[in-house]
Structure 1
Amino acid sequence: MKGFGRNKVGFQSVLGLQRIVFLFFFCGLFLCCKPKKAMVGSDRWDVEQLKLKSESHSDTAKWDLKLYKQDIATFEKYAEALSIYPLNKTPFPVAEYDYAVASTPITVKVKNYLFKGVRIGEYENPESEVVKDALTLLVLTNDANAEESTLVESRNFPYLTAQGFFKTADNKFDWVFSKSPDGFSTLLFNMKLFDLRFGQTIVIVPQKDKSFVYCQINDSPENYKNQEEFNLSISENSKIRDLLSRKNTIGN
């Protein structure tokens, strides 16, 4: 899908309007490493390959010191802005890698309800414009200006990782995502764990008592011609409509 998250950075931040200036500086400073040869994230890795990659990250002789120093210098400037996430983001050294990640914010309307969300994925290769979706997260906010933020990280290659938060009128939801190249991926949302092998689309419906209900859908935006067709499928989903009809759902 062309045009989806084309800013190929070491990690990418999708922020509210109040952080747009930070976004431009931040994304411009962190580029992917490009060694002579690397396996892209969409390829399947076996346990032995993962072990070798883990060992290379722990080998001080293989660290990309130029990238490490660049990260340290940038974090000195933006440490406070990065501290807003569920897991504090600080620099660490890694072996050279060639990997590009992507995220894009989305909104979906279902009747009079408004969901804000994010799509997380990885490029088929760093020169490609094709993104493979790994997670679609939707949270009912009923507010187009509700604060949300996402940080997607490439430094853990070959693992895809991301984190962020959503704020509703009277609640905050934190989330952390991890995808392993051996096919296992999880989303931890306010301590609720989702095994994404059974569906990459997670829909969260906050309740008036500050709890939340949810559904997991075995579907993805990349199965549709465009985002609008995916949004239509969400709006027509009977499970989501049932959750929205609950008396305790925010907005009811």
Structure 2
Amino acid sequence: MTTNNEGFQWNYEAKIENKNNREDSTKWDLENFEIDRKAKDQPGVFPYPRYDLVAPNSFNGLGYGGEFSGINLNNKTFVYNYYYVNKNVVNEKFIDGLEHDVFFTIVVSTDFVDERNYSHISADLSSRNHPNYLAQGFIKTSNNIIQYSAFITGDRDSYAIINSNLFDLSLGRLILIVPQKDRSLRTKQLTLPLLSKDDLDGYIQSLLMEKDVIMLYQNGNAI
């Protein structure tokens, strides 16, 4: 960790220190490593450094939310996930007093919602790379799947990969995906202001009612 009169800095020196900690078994979080190793049906796992090596008490939790059952607008159904990190020493100067840092939102127009088992949607979020955070998941339609990973780093770089397409989230932290009848995909990247996660649902619905957005999901080839 590096600090100056601007507070926490995730700079080159801090990254080198973190890299060295990752390669030093005396710096690993062995409790979390044991939990990860025992998880069923998981790929091979790495050990990670203890979170407090980044900065004391620097990790304060993270989470995700969304609309898994679907909302109906203009005779279309939409499901979505959003991912956030709770306010901590890493992000507090960037989020204007909010308690959560929402770094990625994905919205998908769909023709399939499994209201019993929710097999149409999956969400996962990892803090193991603290102060970098990783979101992963999928959303299924009746004949297609949208798979994604997204991350934000301690120095605020953020990207998403959705079905092999790369999105720079500095250009907009909400990605709308509109599947087509031929199984191709259309997309629109939208800007989100700094919002509490509690205000996000209403804002997403308002975006979906904007004229240019409606034109995207109401085209004749959209499912």
Interval containing the TM-score (normalised by the shorter chain): 0.7 to 0.9
Unaligned runs of 5+ in 1: 1-36, 83-87
User: Could you say which residue in structure 2 is the equivalent of 1:96?
Assistant: 50
More helix by proportion, 1 or 2? 1
Contact 2:99 2:196 in 1 (8 A): no
Mapped to 2, the partners of 1:135 and 1:118 lie a distance apart of 8
**Aligned-residue CA RMSD in angstroms?**
2.6
1:123-181: per-residue Cα shift (whole Å, max 9, x none)? Answer: 1139x992210001101113332611011101011111011111100111111112112
How far off is 1:238 after superposition?
A: 2.2
Q: Is it true that 1:54 corresponds to 2:54 in the alignment? A: no
Superposition TM-score, scaled by structure 1 size: 0.71
Mapped to 2, the partners of 1:229 and 1:216 lie a distance apart of 18
Amino acid at match of 2:173: Q
Contact 1:164 1:175 in 2 (8 A): yes
- Count of matched residue positions in the alignment of Structure 1 and Structure 2: 199
Mapped to 1, the partners of 2:201 and 2:150 lie a distance apart of 25
User: Could you say which residue in structure 2 is the equivalent of 1:24?
Assistant: none
Superposition TM-score, scaled by structure 2 size: 0.80
Mapped to 2, the partners of 1:67 and 1:226 lie a distance apart of 33
Amino acid at match of 2:26: A
Larger RCO, structures 1/2 (Cα 8 Å, 6+ apart): 1
Contact 2:109 2:217 in 1 (8 A): no
Contact 1:111 1:235 in 2 (8 A): no
Structure 1 segment 1-252 matched on structure 2, within 5 A: 44-73=9-38, 75=39, 78-79=40-41, 82=42, 88=43, 90-97=44-51, 98-99=58-59, 100-106=61-67, 107-125=70-88, 130-145=99-114, 147-220=120-193, 222=195, 226-250=199-223
How far off is 1:55 after superposition?
A: 1.6
Unaligned runs of 5+ in 2: 52-57, 93-97
With over 3 angstroms needed to count, the CA separation of the structure-2 counterparts of 1:123 and 1:38, relative to structure 1, is farther
Contact 1:221 1:227 in 2 (8 A): no
SS at match of 2:203: helix
Calculate percent identity across the aligned residue pairs: 25
